[in-house]
Amino acid sequence: MANARYYRAEFCLGAHRIDQLPESQAEVAFVGRSNAGKSSAMNLITNQRKLARTSKTPGRTQQINCFAIGQQQFLVDLPGYGYAKVPPAQAAHWRRTLGLYVAERESLKCVAIVMDIRHPLRQGDWEMIQHCLDADMALHCILTKSDKVNRGQAQRTLNQCAKQLEEQGVEATLQTFSASKGDGLDDAHEMLDMYL
């Protein structure tokens, strides 16, 4: 079931370092490869077309953006990874920062890894999954752009990803998602309800 409380999400702040983040009791972070559809997914989840900035140019999210959805509860939009045109020093900074954030942020309850259903579980995704494993962090995989493949293919990809994760000893929940069709919204809200 969709939960209207997420529709009241408001931008709180953008941080370049962990120590700039707001006080928080609970948060769920969204992360993914650049251009995986993370911003579009967050905009559908919050029913706000411009909450998270979408762009045809990968790598637009260059800070940790916090969106308040209640008393000290946040949805967090993390910078994308795997985009070649970001300067190497900046890419290294964000890799370190993302690792620290997952390892040290006590209020972080779950990481939602957003992946294009046509290109799931790339190297950057596995690196992020490893950060979550190291921190014993709950993990949810959102396979976006499911409207770009037929229903049977979407289900097969979902099953393949579940099998690959299981083979690596990774516990995670998975779902398909289409920002343009609205498919998967209830599943995403259900996941958020578990942690927030």
CB of 115 closer than 8 Å to CB of 177: no
Provide the mean pLDDT of the chain: 92
HSE of 38, CA atoms in CB hemisphere, 13 A: 28
- Domain borders along the chain are 4-195
* 71 — pLDDT class (breaks 50, 70, 90): confident
Any idea how long the chain is? 196
pLDDT, tens digit, 9 for 90 and up, residues 110-150: 999 999 999 999 999 999 999 999 999 999 999 999 999 99
**Matching residue, tokens 């900035």:** 53
CATH architecture of 4-195: 3-Layer(aba) Sandwich (3.40)
User: Rounded to two decimals, what is the model's pTM?
Assistant: 0.93
| 61 has a pLDDT exceeding 90 | no
166 class by beta-carbon count within 10 Å (0-12 exposed, 13-18 middle, 19+ buried)? exposed
CB atoms within 10 A of CB 21: 19
